[in-house]
Structures are given as C-alpha cells and as structure tokens.
C-alpha cells in the first residue's frame, strides 16, 4: 500500500490522502490551528484513527475510531539520527529512524524487520508532504498516517522550542 498525505500550511483544515494513482482514498483533518489533534478518515468518509498530544507531554497518542488508545509515539534522544518509538498496544514496539540530514525514514519491528518506509517529499517553503509505503500488513496504513503526522508534530514542537 502506498499513500501520499500532507500537513496544511496553517495547521488546520482537511487534506486529501491519495494512493499511487493519485486517487483519493481518505482525508486527514487537522482540527485546529491552535492545537495539534487530528483525525484520519477512510475513502468512504468514516473516521478510522485520531492522534493528539497527551496533556502536558510530548508523547503522541493514537486512538482508533471508537476513541480507544491503540498506541503511543515518543521521541528518543539520538546524536546523529532522528529516532522515535511507537508502542502499538498488544502488538509490540516499532522503531522509526532516519539519518540526521535525510528525508527518508524506516519503521522496523522489534526483530529488525522493515514494516514501513516513508519519505518527506515536499519542498522547503511548502507544507510537509509524505509518501508512505507499507511493507507488511500488521498495522493499518491509515494508522501509520496518524503516527507519521504525530512524529511531524513532535518535530515541529522541538523546532519551536529550540528556536
């Protein structure tokens, strides 16, 4: 499964999720310019996943359509790479890594198997856009959209705090 999705320049509103044929297969709804919560909808308009920061925390919670927590994303300190960890409840922990100046990321399971790869495909002055390729079907591709958007929100928070 290959999906393309993006952030909005003003961090609010809906953006389309498209497949490799540029067909609309869902939406990301960035709920508010003043917060970081989002919803992910399927091609039929049904809500599938949501994501938001935990209260007073830099940890990103992913919920299913019923609002039940299904995983937690956190940043991991690393010197020459970008590292995150997604704990998918009942499934396991996945490591998200990228070399320091790269736009390419990999998500690997606890055994080191490649589960997902994604790239930031947008330009410097554009809102962030991503290309997601799911290699194994353990976790829904739309859940990975919520995870990757959460990773993007965590990075934005770190960048704002640093500058």
List, for residues 27-59, the tens digit of each pLDDT value. Answer: 999 886 666 799 999 999 999 999 999 888 889
What CATH number did the domain enclosing 41 receive? 2.40.160.200
Tally the domains of the chain. Answer: 1
How far apart, in whole angstroms, are the C-alpha atoms of residue 95 and residue 101?
Answer: 18
Residue ranges making up the domain that contains 138 = 2-162
Per-residue pLDDT at 73 exceeds 60: yes
Tell which residue, 46, 48, 44, 40, has the closest CA to residue 15: 40
Q: How far apart are CA 51 and CA 30, in angstroms?
A: 10
Statement: residue 12 has pLDDT above 70: yes
Q: How many residues does the structure list for the chain?
A: 163
Q: What is the DSSP string of 36-57?
A: --EEEEETTS-EEEEEEEPTTS
Handedness of CA 94, 162, 123, 58 (dihedral sign): positive
pLDDT for 98-157, tens place per residue? 988 888 999 999 999 999 999 988 766 667 889 999 998 789 999 999 999 999 888 876
Are 62 and 143 within 8 A, CB to CB?
A: yes
Q: Write the CB contacts of 103 (distance below 8 Å, at least 6 apart in sequence).
A: 119, 120, 121
| CA–CA distance, 108 with 43 (Å, rounded to integer) | 27
CA 43 to chain centroid, in Å, comes to 18
In this prediction, residues 50-74 reach a mean pLDDT of: 94
């Amino acid at each position: 499964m290959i999906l393309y999705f993006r952030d909005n320049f003003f961090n609010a509103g809906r953006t389309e999720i498209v497949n490799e044929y540029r067909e609309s297969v869902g939406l990301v709804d960035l709920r508010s310019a003043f917060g970081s919560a989002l919803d992910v909808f399927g091609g039929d308009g049904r809500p599938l996943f949501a994501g938001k920061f935990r209260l007073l925390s830099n940890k990103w919670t992913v919920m299913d359509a019923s609002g039940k927590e299904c995983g937690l994303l956190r940043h991991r300190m690393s010197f020459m790479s970008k590292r995150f960890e997604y704990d998918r409840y009942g499934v396991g922990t996945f490591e998200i890594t990228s070399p320091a100046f790269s736009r390419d990321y990999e998500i690997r399971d606890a055994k080191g198997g490649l589960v997902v790869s994604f790239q930031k495909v947008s330009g410097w002055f554009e809102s962030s856009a991503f290309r997601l390729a799911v290699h194994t079907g353990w976790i829904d591709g739309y859940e990975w959209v919520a995870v990757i958007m959460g990773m993007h929100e965590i990075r934005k928070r770190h960048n704002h705090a640093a500058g």
